[in-house]
Each structure stands twice: as structure tokens, then as C-alpha cells.
A and B are shown apart, each in its own frame.
Chain A
Amino acid sequence: MSEKLQQIINRQNKTLSGEDTKIDEVIQLVGFIVGDEEFSVPILSIQEIIKPISWTRVPQTPAYILGVFNLRGSVIPLIDLRSRFGLEMIKHTEETRFIVMKNGDDVAGFVIDRLTEAIRLPKRDVGPAPETISESESMIDGVGKQADRIITILKVWKLLERNF
């Protein structure tokens, strides 16, 4: 009898906490296209999004680091995400944007092909990253499922980590 009771209580607890997630744990993301895929990063990690401006090449760096640019007096590195993801670099278009992301004191600008939209996603719709890539190397934080599509959520700290 007491076992049954315990089960009921457990079930009730689960439902309760489930409801909690529904209300509280919504993550807000900004989606963008690089190549053919849609990626996203948490909105709070974005400092600002600007139209392309001129930058200065920095020698002795990997090809995906385009250089540095001046953001109102700060010198900020500029990274091409296409190249970072192993895709071919293309000429910037009308829709190209620089997303300036920050994580603590680390700040960098990332070149993306175009923006899509701001997304609100319940946390339970976020699945883990595919296990084909080793956890420490992966830049993917998780995969967000929406009705008609899936969105890759990127680890901002990983993007901002120097790896050369």
C-alpha cells in the first residue's frame, strides 16, 4: 500500500516539476544562417549585431580569423564562421552581418550569412548534441526542435576560445 502511495506521490512531483519547466525554463535564442544550416546562440551572449564594416588583416593567424575591426574604440577580432566551420568563404552580401558575442571579458565578432529570427524555445525541446563528435571538441551545445525544423545551438564560450 505504501509503495503505491509513494508511486503516486512521485508521479505528482514529476508533473509539478514538469509544469515548472514549462513556465520558467524558456531559452531565447537568435538564429542565423551559415552555409546551408541554421544555427543559434543564446540572446544574452550577444553584445550587438552590426552591418559589415572594414577590418584589418592580422598576420600569423588561421584563415578563419579575418582580422580586427574597430567597434567604437575597441579593437575586436573578426572571425568568419563559414571558414571556421570548414566551408568556403564567400563575398559579403547585403544580408551579411557581424554578430558581436561576449563571454565574460572575451569578445569577438563573427561573420554570418544572414540573420533569421529571435526564437523562444522551452528547454525541454532542446536535445543533446549528436554524439558523433567528441564532447570537448564539439562547438554544439544542443539541438533545438521546432515544429518544422531543427536548430543547432552553439557554445559561445567555445567559439570565443582561442584554438591556434
Chain B
Amino acid sequence: MDEFQEILQDFLVESFELIEQLDQDLVELESRPDDLDLLNRIFRVAHTIKGASSFLNFDVLTHLTHHMENLLNMARHGDLVIDADVMDVILESIDLMKALLTRIRDSGVDSGLEISACVMRLDAVANGTEAPAEAPVATPVEEPKVVEAATEEDADYSGMSEAEVEAEIERLIAARQVEDAAKRAHKAEVSASAEEPDYAGMSDDEVEAEIQRLLAERQAEDAAKRAHKVEEPVAQKAQPAPAPVVAATPAVPVKPAAAPAPRRTEAKEDGESRGGSSVEQTIRVDVKRLDHLMNLIGELVLGKNRLIKINDDVEERYEGEAFLEELNQVVSIVSLVTTDLQIAVMKTRMLPIGKVFNKFPRMIRDLSRELNKKIELEITGEETELDKSIVEEIGDPLVHIIRNSCDHGIEVPNVRLNAGKEEIGTIQLRAYHEGNHIVIQIIDDGKGLDADMLKAKSIEKGIITEKEADGMSEKEAFGLIFRPGFSTAAQVTSVSGRGVGMDVVKTNIEKLNGMIDIDSEVGKGTSMKLKIPLTLAIIQALLVGVQEEYYAIPLASVLETVRISKDEIYTVESRSVMRLRDEVLSLVHIGDIFEVERVFDNSEHAYVVVLGLAESKIGLIVDSLVGQEEIVIKSLGEYLKGIEGIAGATIRGDGGVTLIVDVAALMQMAKSVKSTVGQESAESKGRSGAKNKPSDYTVMIVDDSKTDRTIMRKALEPLGITLVEATDGVEALNILKQGDHMFDGMLVDIEMPRMDGYTLAAEIKKYNKYKNLPLIAVTSRTGKADRMRGVESGMVEYITKPYSPEYLMNVVKRNIKFNEGL
């Protein structure tokens, strides 16, 4: 039993490997139907699986592959032209074959799947061209023996006399002809011709002679006793059209002998073709062992980190001692070897990404037929390697992206022609290494993404508000396609348009700590770039400090770090932002995310770690940057699993535990975290002083229009706060300078004579004392550029006219931290 299991395992592994290559070959075959090499390769797969499965008694699988083999064989001999329809049937049967193999893997049996319909179609296709071919009918039967199973068979039969069977042959051939005429024989032929691999090298005469001899031998052998037995299996196997015994008899006995034999030769051929001239020596290893090995390496890396740390300490303490040099040497050798070992073990886990890519040609083919589009797939870099666990995870996202490109990206042929493009759309699938990452690029030359259309669609679906849409850059708009519930397909097709899929892509890529970058031009096409770390267990991390705590951020997600002064942090609608080159980056303090108590905060500067994940970006403010370190990810265990924002823990060189930031979760959390950036407790205390009654709050209204000032005054009077008015920037500045009032906030119009609101704000911010004075712009300018300018000049809020009195009141209350209890 165990032995059987072992054989079964080998069979499954081999079969799945073969199938993987098969899909790609088949699609290629469609474009090059007369490529004999290709055909032979495909044929061999069917043949090998058939042989092995009959050996293992998987009758259903044998039956199916048998018919496939038959069909392919005809194609190989030029008896059948492979067109798209034939290909559909072949692909269908291959799918069925896969399903059967999966069943065998899962349950150990190959029953339960209906194959007769498919077999019938296979036969129908085969039959169409086969009917007239009568003479060759006999040929297939015996050919396999001649070459594939050659020596054994020869040896077997050589001892028999020809005379004995002469009569039998005659009878058999006659019977075959009769039966053909009746058109019922094709089943039998199918089984018969299936045994016929490629013996084209032989001359007709040779073949003929050989057939006669072998047929005779076999017939004689079986004649009396075994003909009877044989009938049954034949009837079973050829169920749809019960085959006449006579015809089948020669075929069946061949099988047990022929099947295992070709299998052996095939294996050899395969090995040779794969490895080229140099023989590749491989060994199959259970993945669990590799995982275990990886864990051990992880421990070793931790040990190494620790050793390095101790070495540094020792160096410091015993400077100049002789033994130090020796210690140094040992430590560096250990660390060098550990690194090499780690790389070596990582390499054992690497698989070429071609494993994933292989299924796409087939998918594109099916999709283009389904969608009536003409699409060509170009694959480059399929030999690029990455960790097995990542290879497993990357498949689904790629399927989604490519489906999307086919469905939404590539246009139908006439649209393409009208647009002056090639009729055939191209999707390029590329993989290459970039540092510690692998980059997978999916480029289509379809219609591209239309940022405005995406925004409109998102607003319509309630995914974003109009206001959000206004503030969106083109890139951000592209990112909308990853939002759950988003789908731009006008029609829901079976391919896509259900609004799931692309958000799955994002989630999966984030799970791998990867990034997505979209580039698109309307009418030209779309390029999607997935950047994924090579391995998951041991990663490079940036260690950051906040107060007395440390956190590790996967370096894969860190785009850059910048040191900024706290003046550069602006607050817009109670969110902190900064300007990074030509982008506005929203900021969040790591302390706010991880509930760190901020006891001391004396630095004028902050470090911003710019995090990028999938297509989004955020700036994380930290107190200090510690450095880059190689860390081993450890789970927090069952008790603490699923803590938001924490991906795991690692053990540092000093033996302490450092938590690893889950960048994806952190970005989610950042959306709901209240900003405390730039609101240093000391300063706010100094400013607000003691507020005992509403009139202790003082707000200045700066506006050149009397009407506007009155509207504001009327809106704010119910609060009972003290209001001071100024008619333009210069006057406002003078009032501030006089220092008669301690202001809690200012309402500033933008358009004013003498000094406008922007200039006023910039002037005010020059005074340290007023750096945190909330300036609220009240204006009819609503453009994005205006808002940005407002933010830059130090405005905290931007109220657009007209506004309701309640709204104004609430904004003011919030900004001056009005205490309702007074």
C-alpha cells in the first residue's frame, strides 16, 4: 500500500508538472498548428498520463486521456487540422483531465466526473477526418510495439511461428473492414490508433510486415483462452459505442505492455529536453523541511545580530586588547557565513515566476474568444525567481489584473482600428529584479484610464465625495479602481464588472508588503507595476523610535525619510499634512497610532518616514530614526494575534522584543486617528491661559466688507466670545502687535486691499508667539490651488462663502477649543 502511495504521489507530481507546461504549449499550438515539436510534446503529456493512470488503475482518466491522445495523434500525422474549434475541445478535455487529477489528489479516486460528453466531442472531432482512413487503421495498432516498446515486444513474440497465425490476420483485417463500413468502428480505432506514437521513419513495407507478424502473434496468443476475458474491459472502456470484439482485441492486450514502456522512454526524453545537454541533478524536498530550515536560519540571524551587538560592547570596554582582533575576526566570519547561508536557503525556496505566468496564455486565449477581441500576450522574464510562498500568493492578483486589462483595457478590434491602432491588442507581462524586490509589470495598449471618468463613477457609487474628488491627483484617481465596490464596466460580464477583484488585488499585494504603481494615458494604455519583496520571513526593516519605544517598519514599504521642522506641518480640516516636493502628503504621528504617551517633546524637528503601499502614500512622524536592520518576523502568538497595526514582532540584538508595523493596517488607522501633530501642550497652555467665561475667548475678524464682518459677528455673537474687527491685513497685524488681546483664533478674508489674507497669514506665522494661532480663511475662492496656498501660508481651515452661521460657529468653536461648559 505504501509503495502504491509513493507511486501515486510521484504520478501526481509528475502529472501536474506536465500539465503546467501543457496549457502554454496548446495556446502556442493554435498559432503554429504545424509545429511538430510542439505537437509531439503535447501528445507525450497525454500519452504519459494515460500510461501511468492505466498502470494505477484510474480507468476514467485513462479513458479520457486515451481519446485525447488519439485526437492529438491524428493531428500529429496531419490527418487533422487544428483550428479553434478543435482546440476548444482539446482544451476542454485538458481541463477535465486536470479536474480528474485534482480529484485523485484529494480523494484518491477518479470517479464522479462526467467525461463521456467530452469524450464524445473528442471523437466527433476525430471522426470527421478519420472515416475514410481505412488502411492506416491497422497501422496504429502495432506501431507502438515496433518502436516504443520495441525490444521487449520483439523478444516476446519472436519465438512464435508465423504460420500459426496467418489465417487469423486475414480474418481480422476483413472484420475490420466490414466494421468500418458500418461506421461503428471508430471507437475501436480510437483505442487502437492511440497506441501509435511516431514511427514515421519506417517504410510502409516494413510497417506492413511488422504489423502482420505482430498481429498474428498476438492473435494466436490470445485466441483461445483470453479473447473472452478481453471483451469486458474493452466494452467498458469504449462505452459510448460498444466496440466489436474482434477489432478491439488486438488493441487491448497491447496496452499493459505498451503503456509503461513509453512512460519510461518519455521520462528520459523529458529530462534531456529540459536540461539540454548538461544533465540537471535535482532532488524533491518536502516544503515543510525548507520551512523548518528557514526558521532555523531565522534564529541564526537573530543570534548573529546579538553577537554583533555584544562584539561592539566588548570592543568599547576592552579597547586595544589583543584578543579583540581575534573576536572581531570570528564575529565577522560568523556573520558573513550566516548571510551566505541565508541567501543559499532562500534560493532553495525560489521558484521561477514562469510557474504563474504559464497559465496566462491560455487565459488570454479563452478571454479573447469570449470577448471577441484580439489580444496577444507577451511574456518576458518568466525565469525571474522568487520565494515559493509569494509565487503562490501572486497568482490571483495577476489573474484579476490581466482579466481587467482584457475586459476594460483592450478595445474590440474595430474600435482599435478606428483609433488608428493595430487590430490586435497587446498585453505585456514582465518580471524583473530591482534590488531586494521583484517587479511585475502588466502593460496593455488599450484605452487607458480616464481619471475624470473614474472620479465621476466613484462619486456616483458613493465611494468618494465630490470634495474628495476635487482634491485628487491623477494618480490618486487611478487608485480608485482598487476601492471595494468600484467597477467601471458598463456591463457585468462573466469576466469582470462585479466590483470585486481589484480590491482583492490590493489586499493581496499589501499582504505581501508590495506596492502597486499605476500609470495610464487615455487612448494609449495602462501600465501596472507590482513591486514585491523577494522573501517574507526575513526582511530588512527601518527601526524608528518614539519616546522610549521602538518599532520596525518593513523597508519594502519605506519610500524615503525626511527631516522637517515642525513649522512645515500644516493642519487642514483637522488633518496634518506637509508638502513634499509637488505633492501634499498626509501625516500621522506614530504615537497617535500606537497610543504612546508623549511625555517629553522638546525637539523642533521631526522625522517623517514616507510609507508607500500598493498605490497609497502616507507620512509617519517619528521622534528618531535608529537605522536599518535585518529582522526575522515572529508571530505574537494566538493570544495577541490580530492586533491592529502590528504585523508581528522581532527579537533585537539586545534580546528585547520590537514590534513590526503593519503598514497596510496603519494606513487604515491613520484615517480615523485625530491629529495631535503640531499641538504641543506647552504652547497651547500658554496661549489659552485660564478660560473661565465665554468672553475670555477672543477672536479677530479680518474682512474689508462691512457686510461680511457683520454676518460673521452675528453668527458668533451667540457664543458670547469677545470679537475684535479689522478691515484689512495691515490693521489686523497692528492689532496683534499691540498685544492688547490674547487671540484664540482669527477669521481671515483672502481678498483684501493693502494686505491680502495669504500675506497676512504668512506675516503672522513669523511670530513665534502666534505660530499656533488658528487662522481660518473665509473666502469665495474655492479652487484647489487657493486652498493649497492657504495651507502653505498657515491657514488651518478654509470656509467658502456662502456658509451657514452654525457652520461658522462650529468651525470657530472647534479651533479655539471652546469649552461648552462655561
Contact = CB atoms under 8 A, between A and B. Distances in A.
Interface of A: 54-61, 65, 67-70, 73-77, 105-108, 160, 162
B651 A70 contact: yes
Given A58-B643, A60-B644, A69-B657, 9 more contacts: A56-B658, A58-B640, A60-B595, A60-B646, A61-B643, A67-B657, A105-B638, A106-B638, A162-B640
B594 interface: yes
Contact of B637 (A54, A60, A67, A77): A77
A70 B655 contact: yes
A70 to B, nearest CB: 5
Contact of B594 (A54, A59, A106, A162): A59
Contact of A56 (B595, B644, B649): B649
B636 A75 contact: yes
B302 interface: yes
Nearest to B591: A59
Given A105-B638, A160-B639, A59 B656 contact: no
A160 B637 CA distance: 11
B657 A107 contact: no
Interface string B372-412: 00000000000000000000000000000000000000000
Given A75-B637, A107-B637, A162-B639, A59 B657 contact: no
B642 to A, nearest CB: 9
Interface of B: 299, 302, 549, 593-596, 634-640, 643-646, 649, 651, 655-659
Closest 5 CB pairs of A and B: A59-B594, A56-B657, A75-B649, A77-B639, A59-B595
Contacts of A160: 639
B651 A59 contact: no
Nearest to B303: A73
B646 A59 contact: yes
Given A60-B595, A70-B651, A75 B657 contact: yes
Contact of B656 (A70, A76, A107): A70
A86 B659 CA distance: 27
Contacts of A55: 657
Contact of A75 (B596, B634, B644): B634
B655 A68 contact: no
Contacts of B635: 75
A140 to B, nearest CB: 20
Contacts of B657: 55-56, 67-70, 75
B227 to A, nearest CB: 63
Contacts of B639: 77, 106, 108, 160, 162
B640 A68 contact: yes
Nearest to A67: B657
Contact of B649 (A65, A68, A106, A162): A68
Contacts of B596: 59
The winner among B299, B596, B646 for most chain A CB atoms within 10 A is: B646
A67 B593 CA distance: 16
A58 B658 CA distance: 10
Contacts of A58: 636, 640, 643, 646, 659
Contact of A73 (B593, B595, B651): B651
Nearest to A54: B656
Among B634, B657, B659, the most chain A Cβ lie within 10 Å of the Cβ of: B657
Contacts of A54: 656
Contacts of A75: 634-637, 649, 651, 657
Contacts of B645: 59-60
Nearest to B655: A70
A68 B651 CA distance: 11
A109 B218 CA distance: 77
A162 B638 contact: yes
20 contacts: A54-B656, A58-B640, A59-B595, A59-B596, A60-B644, A60-B645, A61-B643, A68-B657, A69-B657, A70-B651, A70-B655, A70-B656, A75-B635, A75-B637, A75-B651, A77-B636, A77-B639, A106-B637, A108-B639, A162-B638
Contacts of B656: 54, 56, 70
Contacts of A108: 637, 639
Contacts of B638: 105-106, 162
B659 A56 contact: yes
A77 B659 CA distance: 12
Nearest to B644: A60
A57 B591 CA distance: 13
A59 to B, nearest CB: 4
Contacts of B595: 59-60
B299 A73 contact: yes
A54 B639 CA distance: 19
Given A54-B656, A68-B636, A60 B643 contact: yes
A74 B639 CA distance: 13
Contact of B643 (A59, A74, A76, A106): A59
B759 to A, nearest CB: 43
A164 to B, nearest CB: 10
A157 to B, nearest CB: 12
A61 B644 CA distance: 10
B772 to A, nearest CB: 27
Contacts of A67: 657
A61 B640 contact: yes
A129 B206 CA distance: 95
Contacts of B646: 58-60
A67 B550 CA distance: 13
A73 B656 CA distance: 10
Contacts of A59: 593-596, 643, 645-646
A160 B655 CA distance: 24
Contacts of B640: 58, 61, 65, 68, 77, 162
Contacts of B658: 56
A121 to B, nearest CB: 29
A77 B596 CA distance: 19
A115 B793 CA distance: 63
A76 B638 CA distance: 10
A65 B643 CA distance: 12
